[in-house]
Amino acid sequence: MAMTRGLLLGTLCSLSALMASLPLPLASQATRDSAGVQIVLNERPSLSAAKAWRVSPVPVLSIGAGSPLAAGDSLYEFYLLYGMAKLSDGRIAVGVQSTHTVRIFDAKGKFVSSFGRNGKGPGEFRQIMGVHHTRGDTLVVTDLGELEWYSGAGKFIRPGAGDGRNGSERFIWPGAFLVDGSHVGVDRNDPEVPAAGRRIEMVNMIVVEGDGARRKTLGRVATAEAVYSGKDRWGRPVEYAPYGRLASDGRHIYHGYASTYRIDQWTAEGKVVRSIRRAFTPVPMNDAVKAEFAKHRLSMPGEDGRPASPELKALFEKNLKNAVYAPTLPAFHEIRTDRTGNLWVQHYDPLMALYTPGPVRVQTIAKPTRWDVFDANGRWLTTVELPARFTPQEIGADYVLGVARNEDDEEGVRMYRLVKP
């Protein structure tokens, strides 16, 4: 018995020593604190492949190009869609820049009503730049230099922040909205002319109350990289450089500058409480990307949509000759939150720099896009692939709603079911 007990004890000790010598499996996340900021390091998604989220292969709602209702009815034809929101009864509010209106469709995609027209007064829009859903089905519409508040039925409620309103000197464009109706943005209106040289522009991140009466500076954040002449306020952009991105879950504010895969979570009082990071290997700038960029720029039309004049083409060639490129591609492109509080981070693709000339529009690319999803604690949950020629405008618990374009560049509204196995 003593020999058996001794043999067993020796075997257990040998196994323990062997296991101690083996490398431990890498956890999907690691968390540590640094000066009061929780740093969340993500190596891989926490959900298994079997539990990974995905969208339905076909849309559950289609309005516009390709929809049976669209034939011959201008109410189902869109140009310059910008901003969408799903209301509590399933209706969809859609911002249409070209007609200066917000159109409302029922849950099956049938037109119900619209509000807005061209103008500067209450209930009028100059250029719709966003439609955002808030509590009680209230809609906030971002116009050119101001905000306006509407009921879910399209009734004008009140003006919001705007140029010169309530003593405001300038409009801070909304990057995201908070639950109390205030919005957060960055102030790029500094009149001071930067010194000559190449640098990343640092600006104030500001929270503005819903009516624009008060504002609060939260801190300085990176927004863009440019080459400055020392004579002009605005510099020449560094091509493929990162850009500052903002989002909010209603309580927290997220800011990311994609030189690295890092998004910081701020409180509305201006304190960084969490830094969300993901393992990422930078992609060096290369000749193939530059060649595609040059090809795109030289094929751009003139302002009237017709082929560029010889003089304009010469200007394109001059600008390309003097172009300055970032050494690596950005770590991500866009960030946004869904209506359950998760953070979505879009993988970068060089096609995203090949913008469509003309009026400001929601860009889509002709290939699927991939989005990493993190929970409110910074844990990487999963990666979701969205269809080609589709860009989300709002993400809910079980849907993704956005702008779609077909191969003829015709625009439509699409909603896909978000599947969470």
The residue ranges of every structural domain in the chain are: 28-285+325-419
Beta strands (DSSP E) in 125-188 are 130-133, 139-143, 146-150, 156-162, 176-177, 183-187
pLDDT band at 14 (very low <50, low <70, confident <90, very high): very low
Separation CA 75–CA 71 (nearest Å): 10
More confident residue, 21 or 276: 276
User: What global pTM score does this model have?
Assistant: 0.90
The pLDDT value given to residue 169 = 63
Q: Is the pLDDT of residue 28 over 90?
A: no
User: Over the chain, what is the mean pLDDT?
Assistant: 90
β-strands 81-86, 92-96 pairing? antiparallel
Has domain 28-285+325-419 been given CATH number 2.40.30.10?
Answer: no
Tens digit of pLDDT for each residue in 318-349? Answer: 999 999 999 999 999 999 999 999 999 999 99
The pLDDT value given to residue 37 = 95
Report how far apart, in Å, the C-alpha atoms of 72 and of each of 64, 110, 300 are. Answer: 11, 14, 31
Helical (H) or strand (E) element with 273: strand 272-278
User: Is 208:175 a contact under the CB 8 Å cutoff?
Assistant: no
Residue 399's CB: how many other CB atoms inside 10 A? 21
Separation CA 285–CA 215 (nearest Å): 40
Q: Is the pLDDT of residue 164 over 70?
A: no
The pLDDT value given to residue 393 = 98
Tens digit of pLDDT for each residue in 118-153? Answer: 999 999 999 999 999 998 899 999 999 899 999 999
Q: Is the pLDDT of residue 22 over 60?
A: no
Q: Is the pLDDT of residue 36 over 60?
A: yes
Tell me the residue length of the chain. Answer: 421
pLDDT band at 30 (very low <50, low <70, confident <90, very high): confident
